[in-house]
Amino acid sequence: MKEKILIVDDDKYITLLLFNFLEDEGYVCDTAENGLEALEKISKGATYDLVLLDFVMPKMNGLEFLAAVKEINPKLPVLMISGYRTRDNTLEALRLGAIGFIKKPFSLNDVLKNLRLVLNTSKSKKELGPILPYLKRGHMEFIFKTGEISSDKVSLYLATHLGEMGFIEGYRISTVALAFNEVLTNAIEHGNLELPVNYFTNNGETNDKESLIDLKNQRLKDPQFADRNIIVRYAFENNETQVTIRDEGKGFDTSKVTRFLEQDSTAVTDDIGRGLLLVKYAVDYVRFNEQGNEVTLVIRNTA
C-alpha cells in the first residue's frame, strides 16, 4: 500500500513542485493551503503517513496546526519546511512534536531523503514487536570510510533497532533517526571533509551551496579526506543506549555547544544551529570530547 503524504503550504508553486515530485516517486499526495484546511481534512477522517508543513501561512500557521493536530493524532509525523524560522519558533515546533526540519530553498533529493528516513522508521516499528524484556547488553562498532556509506542508512538502522527493542516508540523513532543523521552528516562533511559549514553552530560564514557541493565532490576523490574513517560505537545495557560517533577531522570549539546543552535553551543566543536543537530534543543527553571530533548521544528507555 502506497504511503500518503499531506503537503501544507500556501505557496502554490512549492506545493505543485512537491506534489508532482513525490507522486513520481510512488507516494500518494494530498494538499492544503493552510493549517486550518489541513486540520479539517484530518478531523473528517483523512489519514496520512506524514505531513510536510510550512511555518508561515494564513488562517492557521504551522505552529498552530501542530498544537491542534496533537489533540487529534499525536503520533502523526510532521516535517517542517520553511525559509522563515527563528530559534524560538524552532524550539516551539520541537516541543509541539515536529520531528525535523527542511530549510528553504531545498533540493528535492533532500526532501526525499528525510521523508524516506521518517517513513521507513515508522514502518519498521509497525512490523516488528519489542524484544526489550530479553535484552541484557550488547555492543556494536561500525567503521567506514568517508564516502563508503550514506549517513541516513546508518541512522535508519540504529533508530530502527532502538524501536524494535522497545527503547523508543512512536514518532520519537523518526526524531532520533534524524538526530543521528545530523550528527553523522556533521562528522562526514564538517569533520572528515573539513567543509566550511557546521551543523551545530551558525559560525557566521556564508557559503554558496553549489560551491560547497563542488568542494565536497572534490574531497570525496582526494585520499587525504576520503580515506578518513567514521567510527560509530553502539552500546546498550538494560535501560540505556549510548551511540558514539567519531570522525578523524580537526574538531571544533565545543564550549558554546556545551553551554547550550547544560542550561535552559531559551537563555542561549541565536548562534546555535538547527542541528543541535534537534539533537537536544531527540535524545536524553549529549556530550562531546575535548577535541570536538566525537559526540556521544544517550537514549534512555521510554517504553
The predicted-structure confidence for 68-107, as pLDDT tens digits, reads as follows 988 888 888 888 887 655 566 777 787 787 888 887 778 8
The strand pairing partners of 288, in sequence order, are: 295
Res. 224 pLDDT band, cuts 50 70 90: very high
β-strands 28-32, 285-288 pairing: unpaired
Structural domains in the chain (count): 2
* Domain that includes residue 82, residue range: 4-106
CATH number of residue 71's parent domain:
3.40.50.2300
Does the residue 8 lie in any domain? yes
Model confidence, pTM: 0.66
**Domain edge (last residue) among 106, 140, 168:** 106
CA distance 294 to 39: 42
Strands (E), the chain: 4-8, 28-32, 50-54, 78-82, 100-103, 137-145, 229-237, 240-246, 285-288, 294-300
Does the residue 48 lie in any domain? yes
* 171 and 273 part of one domain: yes
pLDDT at 204: 44
* 53 and 89 part of one domain: yes
Does the residue 116 lie in any domain? no
* 98 and 143 part of one domain: no
pLDDT at 133: 59
65-74, 147-156, 288-297: range with highest mean pLDDT: 288-297
Q: What is the pLDDT of residues 1-29, one digit of tens each?
A: 789 999 999 889 999 999 999 999 999 99
* 78 and 189 part of one domain: no
* 97 and 171 part of one domain: no
* 251 and 158 part of one domain: yes
Does the residue 122 lie in any domain? no
* 195 and 99 part of one domain: no
* 138 and 102 part of one domain: no
**Domain edge (last residue) among 43, 73, 106:** 106
Mean pLDDT of 283-297: 91
